[in-house]
């Protein structure tokens, strides 16, 4: 196969994947509740248990970050519900929205995004001013993403962020951080050595194995302690097993940052 045809095939696959993601709305905010099916609750319970045994217990709270290759893989859905699951087991939990560009954690708790993490890191607000106790579980607190910043990476890799995590470790059993997608933005990588472990979320029948591999390599390269991969929105009946019919490949030829970033474009229609 010539290089030309290989590239155009990759382009086609990239377009197809992008179309699939556009069809997924970002408006729904799903929280586990008493009506949630047993399978889903059990899946989150297993995820919580797997994470708990994957990281040796140290002095202070455990800091876990979640990320994915691309937007709409279900990072925020998985992260918020994982934090809630920890809180339901009587642990003291804080959920931190480190997606300073497109954070949606606030919406799950009908709260405003501002002030939040970025405002605290830039010294505009105190930690007390940005921590909210959730209305769903008194053990679960959260920090929203805060005011849009032109330099989220710099904020996340700052000394202030490390100090903030130290403070949170002293106050909570689990600090769960939602981050932007690693193959579009480097923001999450600013945290990879500050956390105890990273969980990669991928979406069944949407994520390509090659992208999952690239995301894992990117995390490894930035020295993250990768705890595992969550397959979100798994459609058991269609595939019969985890990877059956799932071996898809695509390639995103180029991504730029700032206003031309497709992360912003893909979510533009979903702005409130
Ligand atoms: N397992 C799932 N089943 C159904 N819808 C889901 C599932 N996971 C995520 N979604 C929906 O997909 C959209 C994108 O999910 P979100 O968690 O915001 O992704 P990300 O944070 O990776 O961008 C949201 O509308 C969310 O409600
Ligand atoms: Mg998100």
Render pLDDT for 26-42 as a digit per residue (tens, 0 to 9): 778 999 999 999 999 99
Rounded Cα distance, 266 and 114, in Å: 22
In angstroms, how far is the first alpha carbon of the chain from the final one? 46
Q: Which residues pair with 132 in a beta bridge?
A: 142
Tokens found for residue 229: 């991969």
pLDDT in tens, 85-111: 999 999 999 999 999 999 999 999 999
Domains defined for the chain, CATH in brackets:
31-267 (3.40.50.300)
Quick: pLDDT tens for 180-208. Answer: 999 999 999 999 999 999 999 999 999 99
If you measure from the C-alpha of residue 77 to the centroid of ligand 2, how many angstroms do you get, rounded to a whole number? 7
pLDDT band for position 23 (50/70/90)?
A: confident
Residues 6+ apart with CB under 8 A from 132: 109, 111, 141, 142, 143, 144
64 bridge partner residues: 176, 197
Write out the two tokens for 15: 């377009």
Query: Which residues surround ligand 1 with Cβ inside 6 Å?
Result: 24-28, 30, 68, 71-77, 104, 232-233
- With b for 16 or more beta-carbon neighbours within 10 A and e for fewer, the 195-223 pattern comes to bbbbbbbbbbebbbebbbebbbebbeebe
> Quick one: what percent of the chain has pLDDT higher than 70?
85
Dist. CA 57–CA 197, nearest whole Å: 12
State pLDDT tens for residues 125-151: 999 999 999 999 999 999 999 999 999
Can you tell me which atom of ligand 1 is nearest the CA of 27?
25
Rounded (10°) angle between helices 38-54 and 75-88:
80
Is it the case that residue 265 has pLDDT exceeding 60? no
Average pLDDT score, the chain: 86
Query: What ligand has the least distance to the C-alpha of 26?
Result: 1
pLDDT of 6 reads 63
Ligand index nearest the alpha carbon of residue 77: 1
Nearest C-alpha to atom 10 of ligand 1 is from which residue? 74
Ligand 1 atom 23: residue of nearest CA: 72
pLDDT of 271 over the 80 cut: no
Query: Residue 238: pLDDT above 80?
Result: no
- pLDDT value of position 15: 81
Between CA 219 and CA 57 the distance in angstroms is 22
Q: Say how many C-beta atoms besides its own lie within 10 A of residue 63's C-beta.
A: 23
Q: If you measure from the C-alpha of residue 39 to the centroid of ligand 2, how many angstroms do you get, rounded to a whole number?
A: 23
What Cα–Cα distance (Å) separates residue 143 from each residue in 9, 136, 137, 155, 182?
42, 15, 15, 15, 21
What atom in ligand 1 is closest to the CA of residue 73?
A: 22
Q: What is the pLDDT of residue 110?
A: 96
Q: Whose CA is closest to atom 13 on ligand 1?
A: 26
pLDDT, tens digit, 9 for 90 and up, residues 248-260: 322 222 222 233 3
pLDDT of residue 245: 33
- Cβ distance 211 to 255 under 8 Å? no
Number of neighbours of residue 162 by Cβ within 10 angstroms: 14
Is residue 261's pLDDT more than 70? no
Q: Could you say which ligand is closest to the alpha carbon of residue 101?
A: 2
Given ligand 1 and candidates 72, 79, 185, 211, which is best to mutate, with the most ligand atoms within 8 Å of its CB? Answer: 72
What protein residues have CB closer than 5 angstroms to ion ligand 2? 75-76
Distance (angstroms) between ligand 2 centre and the Cα of 109 equals 14
Give the bridge partners for 244, in sequence order: none
- Is residue 201 within a helix (H) or strand (E), and if so which, with residue range? strand 197-203
pLDDT in tens, 239-250: 444 433 333 322
pLDDT of residue 8: 78
CA of 9 to the centre of ligand 2 (A): 29
| Residue 265 or 230, more confident | 230
């Amino acid at each position: 196969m010539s290089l030309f045809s290989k590239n155009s095939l990759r382009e086609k696959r990239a377009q197809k994947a992008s179309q699939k993601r556009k069809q997924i709305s970002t408006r729904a905010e799903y929280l586990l509740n008493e009506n949630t099916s047993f399978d889903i609750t059990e899946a989150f319970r297993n995820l919580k248990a797997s994470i708990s045994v994957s990281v040796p217990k140290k002095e202070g709270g455990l800091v876990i970050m979640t990320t994915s290759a691309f937007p709409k893989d279900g990072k925020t859905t998985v992260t918020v519900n994982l934090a809630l699951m920890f809180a339901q087991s009587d642990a003291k939990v804080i959920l931190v929205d480190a997606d300073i560009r497109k954070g949606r954690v606030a919406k799950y708790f009908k709260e405003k995004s501002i002030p939040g993490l970025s405002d605290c890191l830039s010294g505009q607000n105190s930690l007390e001013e940005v921590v909210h106790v959730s209305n769903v579980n008194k053990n679960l607190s959260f920090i929203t993403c805060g005011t849009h910043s032109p330099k989220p990476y710099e904020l996340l890799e700052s000394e202030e962020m490390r100090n903030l995590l130290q403070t949170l470790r002293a106050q909570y059993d689990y600090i769960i951080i939602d981050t932007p997608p690693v193959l579009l933005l480097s923001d999450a990588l600013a945290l990879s050595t500050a956390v105890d472990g990273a969980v990669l979320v991928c979406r069944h029948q949407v994520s390509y194995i090659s992208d999952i591999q690239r995301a894992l390599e990117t995390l490894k390269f930035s020295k993250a302690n990768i705890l595992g991969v969550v397959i979100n929105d798994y459609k058991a009946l269609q595939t019969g097993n985890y990877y059956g019919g799932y071996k898809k490949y695509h390639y995103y030829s180029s991504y730029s940052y700032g206003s031309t970033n497709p992360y912003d474009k893909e979510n533009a229609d979903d702005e409130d």
